[in-house]
Amino acid sequence: MSASANRESAITNPGQFGRVAVVMGGQSAEREVSLNSGRNVLDALRAKGVDAHAVDGIPALLDALRAGHYARVFNILHGGAGENGELQGALQALRVPYTGSGVLGSALAMDKVRAKQVWLSLGLPTPRFKALAHGADAGSSAEAVHAAAREIGFPLIVKPAWEGSSVGVTRVFEEKDLDAAVALARRYPGDLLMETLIEGGEYTVGILDGRALPTIRIVPKGEYYDYNAKYIAEDTEYVCPGLDGAAEEEMRALALAAFDALGCSGWGRVDVMRDRAGRNYLLEVNTAPGMTSHSLVPKAARALGIDFETLCWKVLETSFERERGVP
């Protein structure tokens, strides 16, 4: 399945891309990660001869596009309006091709609750969960939160439904720790999501142009793969491919099915837990994955002999699919 991801590029002349805006930064909680990713992408594209330029945030990007400064957009904004369908809708209205998923795929993937509902409707596995509205209504009261948590059972995960990069995520093993976890998650917009904590291995599967890359098994030095392990620590171990034989193919097929189910396109990353009995559970889809020195899609691509510069080129190539009418 993944071998064809290493096929020859359809675009051979960097001039075919035109002037490219690499939009990064923005105002979400993941701003610093996005800036780091964006600088890496910018350097890689320029090294390949692409006329690429950094743009910080959506307002500056839209102003530049209305002035006709760029032919297409490499979107490396993480979270917020850059990843939830808002930017994608604006770019489609302006008829500017861009990387990553369209409006619907971006919106569904950003909202972990809606993504889970889609997967369950199609029989795709995801941890048992409860979603509670963000606000002061009865469904979000402390009593409702505790009742929902007891229904799921401990241990469980508490997280904001619209954030990535492990922002606002807490593992809760006893009910006495629930209120603090909820308070942290509610610093961020969107529903409050509680789900069963799956004990087992943590995996991720990159998606590139309709194909699943080799799985990566994540082995943090500490107990969990949190923000520090993702972006700061140098001792997290990554095993690629993360599985062997039929188990590897099964997880890659599941990841691609999850990606397609949400209407995602271009490229992305699917996070999966595998319990000790060998059962897979879908966690989330990232439609604008990190491209930092610690990021996982570049690691999976390297397993196929695709270096970082070539990966960025291939991602940018997917913007031509949007010109051909891919949603």
Cα separation of 31 and 57, whole Å?
Answer: 9
Nearest to 78 by CA among 123, 31, 119, 41: 31
CB 187 within 8 A of CB 250: no
Q: Are 134 and 144 in contact (CB under 8 A)?
A: no
Question: Residues 297, 101, 70, CA angle at the centre, nearest 5°?
Answer: 95
Calpha distance 237→166 (Å, rounded): 18
Residue 16 is given by DSSP the state G
Parallel, antiparallel or unpaired: strands 211-219 and 129-132: unpaired
Order across the sheet with 267-275: list the strands: 237-239, 211-219, 200-208, 267-275, 280-286
Cβ atoms of residues 117 and 107 within 8 Å: no
Active site residues: 30, 165, 231, 269, 271, 284, 286, 290
Q: Which residues, including other chains, have CB under 8 Å from residue 37's CB and lie 6 or more apart?
A: 24, 76, 78, 290, 291, 292, 295
**Phi, psi dihedral angles at 155 (to 5 degrees):** -80, 155
